[in-house]
Amino acid sequence: MKKIVCCMIFLVVFITLSSYPVQAEEITTLNVYNWGEYIDEDVIDLFEAAHPNVEVNYETFDSNESMYTKLTMGDANYDVIIPSDYMIERLIKEDRLVELDVTKLTHYNEISNEFLVKSEVFDPNNNYAVPYFWGTVGILYDTTKVDETVDSWSILWDETYKNQIFMYDSQRDSLMVALKLLGKSMNTTDKEDLELAKNKLIEQRPLVYSYVTDSVIQQMISGEAALAVVYSGDAAYIMDENPDMAFAIPQEGTNFWIDSMVIPKTSQNIDLAHEFIDFMCDPDIALRNTEYVMYSSPIESVFNNVITEDWANNIAYNPDGVIDVFGGSIETEVFRDPGDFITEYDKVWSEVLAPKPNYLIPIIIGAIVIVAGSAYYIITKKKKSY
Amino acid sequence: MVKRYQKLYLGLMFLFLYAPIFVLIFFSFNQSESMGHWSGFSLKWYRELFRSERIQNAFFYTIVCAIISTTVSTILGTISALGIYKITKKLRELVLNVNYLPIINPDIVTAVSLMILYISIGFQRGFSTMVFAHIMFSTPYVILTVLPRLNTMDPNIIDAATDLGATPLQAVRKVIIPEIMPGIIAGALIAFTMSIDDFVISYFNTANSVTNLSIEIYNMARRGVKPTVNALATLMVAFIILFVFIVNKIGNNHKSKEVLKK
Amino acid sequence: MNKSLNRLSYPYLLWTFIMIVIPFFLIFIYSVTSSKEGSPVIFQFTFDHYREFFSPSNINILNKSIWLAFQTTVYCLILGYPAAWIISKINIRKQNAIILFFILPMWINMLLRTYAWQIILGRSGILSTFFNIINIKYEGILYTDSAVLIGMVYNFIPFMVLPIFTTLIKIDDNLIEAAYDLGASTKETFLKIIFPLSLPGVVTGIILVFLPAVSSFAIPRLLGGGQYVLIGNLIEKQFYLLGNWNFGSAIAIILMILIIISMMFMKKTDELKSRGGGTLPW
């Protein structure tokens, strides 16, 4: 007994001691919080090499929402975070971000003006966010299975592709597709619009192979289905891995998104955070990063440089039909923070995915439980008399 | 004949259990970054694995956390099971029902509730909070596997031991523990498995760049998991098989020597 | 003797109070309050979240989750019991290694294993390549109920095999031999001796499989697609995506209450019969 108690005390002490990070003197840590697989990690090493007294703590998240939970409920002090547009809007609304000092960002003028203009939708006057990557949402299709020209969301409602369609399993993205097909805004707060979109999606449901999120990338690389709704950056990657795939941005318009670097108010190294943001905007660094991640860079020289490369010479990396950026004819919208209205989106999406009622199930379970119970009873009773 | 069917059944079972593992191992030698799409043999993911500090760190945290939490929860669970076995019926029911909570609760609920607890008592989240969380959700599994062994144990043997002059501690150590050992081992195995595989609870209860493999893999999933992780899985499987093989070999030699002595 | 042993449970009572009861209480508080802007400070007592849950679509989801967990448990039992039995008869030296090999796949990350299943089951996957070679048409079962069931059984079967195995090896061989000597057939011996004696393990196995299976969401989502909505997904979404912790907590509490009630029911039926060899673990 004593031994066990000793062991336990030892363990507890060990755990508590090991929880305090040992910090060498004069080393500053910079906590960076980014999407998974969204940076060339060599870039971080380069930053550390350029700043000998800095250690970068790089952490990753898998959705804007989980990032938000950890940021707001937590005691963790991140210095640079890279969320998406609508999440930045929310963070600004809740006064959680530090206003940037643009004079500290020497590479700020390398950023294409179009993206700064576009960012004003969620960040008026560009006070808080510096664009990191951007892109659109479109249809990825297998050219060996789809012969027609893909230029409309309506192909996702085409009976010939029954069980060949991957939809995105996210309320905002899927409703965006239906709303755009109906010619509505993807940020609508009109319940009637949502109702129409819901009916459209319910109509489509029998044709859909599956509603997926991240796994769509692997599935499309192996050619599991003919059509899929994907982010442009992922499309560039899929097309690089599987040359049969092509990408199209529907004429009805689509979502335009920007992931940007921001500094939360809890940051304790605001100056260093600025330096990191500036470093990521350095054309050489941004070039390395975009070549690794394959998402479109907002740095003008990098963008012009990369589109001549094989993997980027396509509409996914370079959506020249998009009106705001390239003067094409396709109108795009940026997702806005819907506030409490998100519950309406969620309600509609839940109704689309809701399982069919099956009253047989409780009856079957009940019957089986009763049979098993009595069998159990009989066996044990028999055993007693045995 | 019957023996052969049994072997066949077990063989099919292992095929079922190992089919995905073979797939993972196979694609760890893939040239391309994507699973399910073979494009030539390559060892580059192993090279990458030995270069990637993040994965090595995560692996280290995962293993250390699993070992500590398994040890503590096995000891705690066994001791508690002994106690629960003897407490009054009313209290036992209560404790066991509470004990089910972490098992029924979806991980996310456990994770968030623990996170709120840590924050409200001002406990800085980090490695230790993760370990505590793991102990919290794996101990009930140990109790649940040890208790049936205790319940099917003949209660008279404890009395016999004490009647023969054993102190309670001796009775526990020399009589009860050997008797319930398989249950303890099963509990420890389950605890280790739960700990090594947990994502959600770890995610919300760590901070300051303490991560584990599951967290790294989930966040990687955005782009499809990198074969570097497959490479790590392959090495893990190889090490464990080697380990089991050596232990068995030593055990066999030991046994055969004993036989010779006789 | 009895007195000194029961004291051993006290540390755990304290531990459960701090690490299980208090967090559970916090979740309960969330479920009966509503808060503006997600801040837990402003409490407002309400039962709305519970009322909100009882809509037909949510009931269907609950229904489906219980059905899946039930099927998973049944398949795990049917497939796992013979495996545990066969392993328990292998000689002890090999036994431990085999049990370890049973668990080993579970030490590889769950997400990774489930991805591997996607590759095996998909239309362009390994099974389909295999069937193509032997000229059988295979449409792929990925994103169907069978795929989900395979994934669930795969993931949970060790939790069924392990407890059954530990009770089976405890059975005294002399007992079985005695049964044979007294003229019992293999079938009779199994039904009247072996199975009843292994029941505590079976019950533990059922608990270890059924309880986590009811609230599972990751495997069904990966192998069944987003259209496979279960109660676990519903809860997860409230916490993760919508930040609606109050409603999420309410669903979690409802699920817990349902399960605890069914446990009590099981215990009641257990009390009806004698507390012989096959007692439940409480």
Residues of C in contact with B79 (CB under 8 A): 8-9, 11-12
Quickly list DSSP for C15-71. HHIIIIIHHHHHHHHHHTB--GGG-TTS--B--HHHHHH-SHHHHHHHHHHHHHHHH
For an interface test with C, which of A69, A215, A346 has the most C Cβ atoms less than 10 Å from its Cβ? A215
- For A362, the closest of C63, C222, C241 (CB atoms) is C63
Residues of A in contact with B54 (CB under 8 A): 41, 58
Closest residue on chain C to B6 (Cα): C86
Cβ neighbours of residue A76 closer than 8 Å, sequence gap 6 or more: A31, A70, B125, B207, B208
* Shortest Cα–Cα distance, B44 to chain C (Å): 19
What confidence tens digit (pLDDT) does each residue in B4-43 have? 899 999 999 999 999 999 999 999 999 888 777 788 899 9
Cβ–Cβ of C162/B109 closer than 8 Å? no
Residues of B in contact with C89 (CB under 8 A): 6
Q: Are B198 and B214 in contact (CB under 8 A)?
A: yes
Average pLDDT over residues A111-115: 90
Residues of B in contact with C262 (CB under 8 A): none
Cβ–Cβ of C9/B95 closer than 8 Å? yes
- For B21, the closest of C83, C105, C119 (CB atoms) is C105
Q: Are B131 and B69 in contact (CB under 8 A)?
A: yes
- Band (pLDDT 50/70/90 cuts) for residue A315 is confident
Predicted local distance difference test score (pLDDT) of residue A335: 94
B195 touches chain C (CB under 8 A): no
Closest residue on chain B to C127 (Cα): B19
- For C240, the closest of B108, B196, B213 (CB atoms) is B108
Neighbours of chain A (3+ CB pairs under 8 A): B, C
Considering A275-289, B144-158, C48-62, the range whose residues carry the highest mean pLDDT is A275-289
Average pLDDT over residues A335-356: 89
Predicted local distance difference test score (pLDDT) of residue C47: 86
For an interface test with A, which of B60, B128, B225 has the most A Cβ atoms less than 10 Å from its Cβ? B128
Is pLDDT of B187 > 50? Answer: yes
- For C124, the closest of A210, A223, A380 (CB atoms) is A223
Single-letter code of the amino acid located at B26: F
Secondary structure letter of residue B167 according to DSSP: -
Spatial CA neighbour of A133 closest among A357, A310, A17, A306: A306
Q: Which tokens go with B24?
A: 């993972």
* Shortest Cα–Cα distance, B117 to chain C (Å): 6
Cβ–Cβ of A224/C142 closer than 8 Å? yes
Q: Which tokens go with C28?
A: 């309960």
Distance CA B90, CA B146 (A): 20
Cβ–Cβ of B132/A11 closer than 8 Å? no
Domains of chain A: 26-133+258-325 (3.40.190.10), 135-256+337-353 (3.40.190.10)
Residues of C in contact with A373 (CB under 8 A): 269
Side-chain-side CA neighbours of residue C222 (13 Å): 24
Give how far Cα B188 sits from Cα of A7, B70, B211, C99, C103, Å: 17, 6, 23, 13, 11
Q: Are A216 and A98 in contact (CB under 8 A)?
A: no
- For B208, the closest of A38, A57, A234 (CB atoms) is A57
Distance CA A331, CA B186 (A): 60
Distance CA A202, CA A320 (A): 32
Closest residue on chain A to B113 (Cα): A73
- Band (pLDDT 50/70/90 cuts) for residue C273 is very low
* Shortest Cα–Cα distance, C135 to chain B (Å): 21
- For A18, the closest of B37, B125, B128 (CB atoms) is B128
Average pLDDT over residues B244-258: 70
Quickly list DSSP for B28-57. HTBSSSSTT----B--HHHHHHHH-HHHHH
Cβ–Cβ of C256/B141 closer than 8 Å? no
Give how far Cα A104 sits from Cα of A99, A133, A263, B84, B262, Å: 12, 21, 14, 64, 83
In chain C, DSSP finds a helix count (H) and a strand count (E) of 15, 0
- For B221, the closest of A7, A70, A214 (CB atoms) is A214
Cβ–Cβ of B75/A8 closer than 8 Å? yes
Is pLDDT of A1 > 70? Answer: no
Spatial CA neighbour of B95 closest among C14, C200, C13: C13
Distance CA A23, CA A54 (A): 12
- Band (pLDDT 50/70/90 cuts) for residue A359 is confident
In degrees and rounded to multiples of 5, residue A295 shows phi and psi of -95, 160
Is pLDDT of A198 > 90? Answer: yes
Closest residue on chain C to A343 (Cα): C242
Predicted local distance difference test score (pLDDT) of residue A13: 56
Is pLDDT of C189 > 80? Answer: yes
* Shortest Cα–Cα distance, B221 to chain A (Å): 6
Q: Structural domain boundaries of chain B?
A: 54-224
Q: Which tokens go with A64?
A: 């804007």
Q: Which tokens go with A330?
A: 């396709």
Is pLDDT of A327 > 70? Answer: no
* Shortest Cα–Cα distance, B260 to chain A (Å): 36
Predicted local distance difference test score (pLDDT) of residue A11: 58
Closest residue on chain B to A233 (Cα): B223
Cβ–Cβ of A214/B131 closer than 8 Å? no
What confidence tens digit (pLDDT) does each residue in C117-173 have? 998 998 888 888 888 888 888 888 899 999 999 999 999 999 999 999 988 988 888
Burial class (CB in 10 A: 0-12, 13-18, 19+), B61: buried
Distance CA B225, CA B23 (A): 14
Predicted local distance difference test score (pLDDT) of residue B99: 87
Is pLDDT of A296 > 50? Answer: yes
Residues of C in contact with A244 (CB under 8 A): none
Burial class (CB in 10 A: 0-12, 13-18, 19+), C185: exposed
* Length of chain C counted residue by residue: 282
Predicted local distance difference test score (pLDDT) of residue A5: 56
Helix pair B227-261, C92-103: axis angle to 10 deg: 170
Domains of chain C: 32-272 (1.10.3720.10)
Cβ neighbours of residue A268 closer than 8 Å, sequence gap 6 or more: A77, A79
Residues of C in contact with B199 (CB under 8 A): 110-111
In angstroms and rounded to an integer, the radius of gyration of the C-alpha atoms of chain A is 26
Is pLDDT of C53 > 60? Answer: yes
Residues of C in contact with A365 (CB under 8 A): 66-67, 70
Residues of B in contact with C255 (CB under 8 A): 104, 106
Residues of A in contact with C237 (CB under 8 A): 346
In degrees and rounded to multiples of 5, residue B134 shows phi and psi of -65, -40
Q: Are A287 and A305 in contact (CB under 8 A)?
A: yes
Cβ neighbours of residue A10 closer than 8 Å, sequence gap 6 or more: none
Cβ–Cβ of A74/B32 closer than 8 Å? no
CB pairs under 8 A between A and C: 120
Side-chain-side CA neighbours of residue A57 (13 Å): 18
Cβ–Cβ of A362/C277 closer than 8 Å? no
Q: Which residue has the higher pLDDT, A271 or C268?
A: A271
Spatial CA neighbour of B185 closest among B13, B24, B54, B70: B70
Neighbours of chain C (3+ CB pairs under 8 A): A, B
Predicted local distance difference test score (pLDDT) of residue A123: 94
In degrees and rounded to multiples of 5, residue C139 shows phi and psi of -90, -5
Cβ–Cβ of A241/B115 closer than 8 Å? no
- For A210, the closest of C143, C229, C237 (CB atoms) is C143
Q: Which tokens go with A336?
A: 């806005």
Residues of B in contact with C109 (CB under 8 A): 197, 213-214, 217, 229, 233
Average pLDDT over residues B206-213: 81
Q: Are B210 and B133 in contact (CB under 8 A)?
A: no
* Shortest Cα–Cα distance, A76 to chain B (Å): 6
Cβ–Cβ of B109/C239 closer than 8 Å? yes
In degrees and rounded to multiples of 5, residue A34 shows phi and psi of -140, 165
Q: Is B224 left (phi over 0), alpha (psi -120 to 50) or beta?
A: left
Q: Which fold has domain B54-224?
A: MetI-like fold (1.10.3720)
Residues of C in contact with A356 (CB under 8 A): 60
Q: Are A59 and A81 in contact (CB under 8 A)?
A: no
- Band (pLDDT 50/70/90 cuts) for residue C267 is low
Residue that is written with structure tokens 């910090």 in the block: A23
Alpha helices (H) in chain B, listed in sequence order: 2-28, 44-51, 53-86, 89-104, 107-120, 127-151, 156-163, 168-170, 177-197, 200-204, 213-220, 227-261
Closest residue on chain A to C69 (Cα): A365
Closest residue on chain B to C99 (Cα): B186
Residues of A in contact with C196 (CB under 8 A): 379-380, 383
Closest residue on chain A to B54 (Cα): A58
- Band (pLDDT 50/70/90 cuts) for residue A110 is very high
Average pLDDT over residues A42-66: 90
Cβ–Cβ of B219/A217 closer than 8 Å? no
Spatial CA neighbour of A268 closest among A91, A30, A71: A30
Average pLDDT, chain B: 86
> Can you give the three-state secondary structure of chain A, one letter per residue?
CHHHHHHHHHHHHHHHHHHCCCCCCCCEEEEEEEECCCCCHHHHHHHHHHCCCEEEEEEEECCHHHHHHHHHHCCCCCCEECCEHHHHHHHHHCCCECCCCHHHCCCHHHECHHHHHHHCCCCHHHCCCEEEEEEEEEEEEECCCCCCCCCCHHHHHCHHHCCCEEEECCHHHHHHHHHHHCCCCCCCCCHHHHHHHHHHHHHHHHHEEEEECCCHHHHHHCCCCCEEEEEHHHHHHHHHHCCCEEEECCCCCEEEEEEEEECECCCCCHHHHHHHHHHHHCHHHHHHHHHHHCCECCEHHHHHHHCCCHHHCCCCCCCCCEHHHHCCCECEECCCCCHHHHHHHHHHHHHHHCCCCCCHHHHHHHHHHHHHHHHHHHHHHHHHHC
Residues of B in contact with C267 (CB under 8 A): 93
Closest residue on chain A to C192 (Cα): A383
Distance CA A182, CA A197 (A): 7
